[in-house]
Amino acid sequence: LTPHEAKTLVTRMGKGSKIILIGDLAQIDNPYVDAHTNGLVFTRNRLQGQPFMAHVNLFKGERSEMAEVAANLM
């Protein structure tokens, strides 16, 4: 997700809307963004502190053992 794509999603929300952006900063397939410049980080940094915004970092993987090993090794 690029910052432009994130902005496109968030700026089209209407009253009563909710949006949840989920992603793994270690799994980025776009060569033009990285763990510091992607749309998730962009959105968090720009909207942090707003009363309608929150973010949660999850540190423990909730994947199968095989998926966790593959994510760490590949």
Give the amino acid at 31. P
pLDDT digits 0-9 by tens, 47-58: 999 999 999 988
Give the amino acid at 36. H
Q: Which tokens belong to 5?
A: 């794509």
Rounded distance, CA 41 to CA 64, Å? 26
pLDDT(70) > 80:
yes
pLDDT digits 0-9 by tens, 24-46: 888 888 999 999 999 999 999 99
The percentage of the chain sitting over the pLDDT mark of 90, rounded to a whole number, equals 68
pTM assigned to the model: 0.77
Q: Where are the chain's structural domains?
A: 3-73
Average pLDDT, the chain: 91
